[in-house]
Amino acid sequence: MNEMEKNPQDKVTDRWFHFLYAVIWPFFNLFRPLKVIGRENIPDGAAVLCPNHTTIGDPFYVVFAFGRRYPMRAMAKIQIMRVPFIGWILGKGGVFGVDRGHADMHAVKTALKLLKDGNKLLMFPEGTRVREGEDVAAKTGAAMFATRTGVPLVPIYIQRKKRLFARNAVVIGQPYHPQYAGRKPTPEELDAITGDLMDRVRALGEGQS
């Protein structure tokens, strides 16, 4: 779905996204410049964008690595969206909350609708920030959204140890459609798809700091 085909609400959200991008990018680029690898892999249309997660600023690394041309929507923990003004402005720019402690069907329905409407959805499969040496089992949400809507998964690696005033690497992998046997994937297949996704993310990080 291109810009001309988007519904009116998505167009309004995109305008807010572009406004926030223009305000934040100069400051971010000054302190945390990027080295983007694989920008040619960015697909047109809907996709589930799946980076690793180590710092609170990781969403900005993905947004600015993709560039202003590719507005996206993002899933964030509900607590952030409840912060006065911050939650409001994030919501205007395409971020929506998910209650990670419960089966949040509203967030699930929101994510599915955004993908079906042609948007790119940013979500972190690990579900939380992962420190060096930690082993966190990734959640199957990204796999479920991709298989239900038929959109590709895009593995993304964000440099774990960020540096001030030096280029930090973001590696964008090739989009792909996960494979499964039946009409819809079983829980075991969703686990396997998620494991393969995280393997692809880690492989992108080989040779990066």
Whole-number percent of the chain with pLDDT over 90 = 86
Helices and strands in the chain: count of H runs, count of E runs: 7, 7
Q: 33-79, pLDDT tens digit by residue?
A: 999 999 999 999 999 999 999 999 999 999 999 999 999 999 999 99
Residue of 150, 176, 199, 144 whose CA lies nearest to 43: 176
Q: What is the pTM of this model?
A: 0.93
pLDDT at 156: 98
How is residue 92 written in tokens? 């205007």
The more confident residue out of 1 and 12 is 12
Amino acid letter for position 121: L
The more confident residue out of 133 and 104 is 104
C-alpha 43/C-alpha 39 separation (Å) is 9
Q: Using the structure block, give the residue that is written with the tokens 């930690």.
A: 134
End-to-end CA distance of the chain: 36
Q: Which residues contact 180 (CB under 8 A, 6 or more apart)?
A: 147, 186, 189, 193
Q: Is the pLDDT of residue 168 over 80?
A: yes
Least confident of 10-24, 85-99, 101-115, 131-145: 131-145
Alpha-carbon distance values, 125 to 18, 140, 143, 144, 155 (Å)? 25, 7, 9, 11, 10
C-alpha 56/C-alpha 176 separation (Å) is 27
